[in-house]
Structure 1
Amino acid sequence: MTKQCSAEKLFKFLDMYETLRDVVPAMEGLFELKNEATTARCRLGEATILMFADLENSIKADTGKTLVPGGAMHPLMRYTMNYLKYACEYTDTLEQVFREHYYSRLDETQSFDDDDQKNKISEQPPQTTLFSLQLMRVMELLDSNLETKAKLYKDVGLSNIFMMNNGRYILQNIKGSTEIHDLMGNKWSHKRSSDLKQYHKNYQRETWSKLVGCLSNEGLNVNRKVVRSVLKERFKSFNQMFNEIHKTQSTWVVSDKQNQSELRVSISAVVIPAYHPSWGGSRNIFTLGDQRRSM
Structure 2
Amino acid sequence: MKKKKIYLGTPELKEKLNKVTDHIVNCAIIFFKNIYESIKNDTSKTLSIDGTVYELTSNTINCLKRFIDYKNPIETMLTEIENGNLKTNDESLASQPILKEGPQAYYNDILDTLISMIETKSHGYKKDTLAKIFLINNYNYILKNIQNTRLSEMISGDIGPKFNKLIKAQVNLYMECWNNCVISLMDVTYVQDGSIKTTLSKSQKQNIKECFKNFNNKFDEIYKVQKVYSVPDTELRNQILSEIKQIIVPMYGRFYNK
Bin the TM-score by the shorter chain. 0.7 to 0.9
Indicate if the aligned counterparts of 2:29 and 2:93 stay in contact, CA closer than 8 A: no
Indicate if the aligned counterparts of 2:50 and 2:230 stay in contact, CA closer than 8 A: yes
Alpha-carbon spacing, 1:115–1:264, altered in 2? closer, same or farther (3 Å): closer
- How far the C-alpha of 1:45 sits from its partner, in A, is 3.9
Indicate if the aligned counterparts of 2:78 and 2:103 stay in contact, CA closer than 8 A: yes
Alpha-carbon spacing, 1:99–1:249, altered in 2? closer, same or farther (3 Å): same
- How far the C-alpha of 1:154 sits from its partner, in A, is 2.4
Unmatched runs of 5 consecutive residues or more in structure 1: 1-28, 122-129, 282-295
Indicate if the aligned counterparts of 1:211 and 1:241 stay in contact, CA closer than 8 A: yes
Query: Residue 17 of structure 1 aligns with which residue?
Result: none
What secondary structure does 2:44 align onto?
coil
Letter in 2 for 1:265: S
What root-mean-square deviation, in Å, do the aligned CA atoms of Structure 1 and Structure 2 show?
Answer: 2.7
User: 1:145-166 CA distances to partner (integer Å, 9 max, x unpaired)?
Assistant: 0000112222222111001111
Q: Does 1:202 align with 2:178?
A: no
Match for residue 114 of structure 1 among 92, 96, 102: 96
Identity %: 26
- How far the C-alpha of 1:211 sits from its partner, in A, is 1.0
User: 1:33-54 CA distances to partner (integer Å, 9 max, x unpaired)?
Assistant: 9855675355334312311211
Match for residue 49 of structure 1 among 8, 14, 29: 29
Alpha-carbon spacing, 1:229–1:258, altered in 2? closer, same or farther (3 Å): same
Instruction: State the structure with bigger RCO (CA 8 A, min sep 6), 1 or 2.
Output: 2
Q: Does 1:171 align with 2:143?
A: yes
Q: What is the 5 A alignment of 1:5-44?
A: 30-31=8-9, 35=14, 36=16, 40-41=20-21, 43-44=23-24
User: 1:78-112 CA distances to partner (integer Å, 9 max, x unpaired)?
Assistant: 11110011113211101111122454556633489
Query: Residue 240 of structure 1 aligns with which residue?
Result: 217
Query: Residue 248 of structure 2 aligns with which residue?
Result: 271
- How far the C-alpha of 1:182 sits from its partner, in A, is 3.5
Unmatched runs of 5 consecutive residues or more in structure 2: 1-6
For residues 67 and 243 of structure 1, the distance between their equivalents in structure 2, rounded to whole angstroms, comes to 25
Indicate if the aligned counterparts of 2:51 and 2:137 stay in contact, CA closer than 8 A: yes
User: 1:176-210 CA distances to partner (integer Å, 9 max, x unpaired)?
Assistant: 233x32333231221111111111111112x2111
Q: Does 1:156 align with 2:136?
A: no
For residues 18 and 108 of structure 2, the distance between their equivalents in structure 1, rounded to whole angstroms, comes to 30
Match for residue 239 of structure 2 among 262, 277, 284: 262
Indicate if the aligned counterparts of 1:42 and 1:101 stay in contact, CA closer than 8 A: no
- How far the C-alpha of 1:134 sits from its partner, in A, is 1.2
What's the TM-score, normalizing by structure 1?
A: 0.72
Query: Residue 19 of structure 1 aligns with which residue?
Result: none
Query: Residue 89 of structure 1 aligns with which residue?
Result: 69
Q: Does 1:212 align with 2:194?
A: no
Match for residue 229 of structure 1 among 206, 229, 232: 206
User: 1:186-240 CA distances to partner (integer Å, 9 max, x unpaired)?
Assistant: 31221111111111111112x211111111116x537564521111101001111
Indicate if the aligned counterparts of 1:215 and 1:235 stay in contact, CA closer than 8 A: yes
For residues 246 and 17 of structure 2, the distance between their equivalents in structure 1, rounded to whole angstroms, comes to 65
Query: Residue 49 of structure 2 aligns with which residue?
Result: 69
Alpha-carbon spacing, 1:37–1:112, altered in 2? closer, same or farther (3 Å): closer
Query: Residue 99 of structure 1 aligns with which residue?
Result: 79
Q: How many residues align?
A: 240
Indicate if the aligned counterparts of 2:50 and 2:229 stay in contact, CA closer than 8 A: yes
Indicate if the aligned counterparts of 2:185 and 2:255 stay in contact, CA closer than 8 A: yes
Alpha-carbon spacing, 1:246–1:144, altered in 2? closer, same or farther (3 Å): same
- How far the C-alpha of 1:242 sits from its partner, in A, is 0.8
Query: Residue 227 of structure 2 aligns with which residue?
Result: 250
Alpha-carbon spacing, 1:112–1:204, altered in 2? closer, same or farther (3 Å): farther
For residues 161 and 48 of structure 1, the distance between their equivalents in structure 2, rounded to whole angstroms, comes to 37
For residues 113 and 90 of structure 2, the distance between their equivalents in structure 1, rounded to whole angstroms, comes to 24
Alpha-carbon spacing, 1:258–1:34, altered in 2? closer, same or farther (3 Å): farther
Query: Residue 58 of structure 2 aligns with which residue?
Result: 78
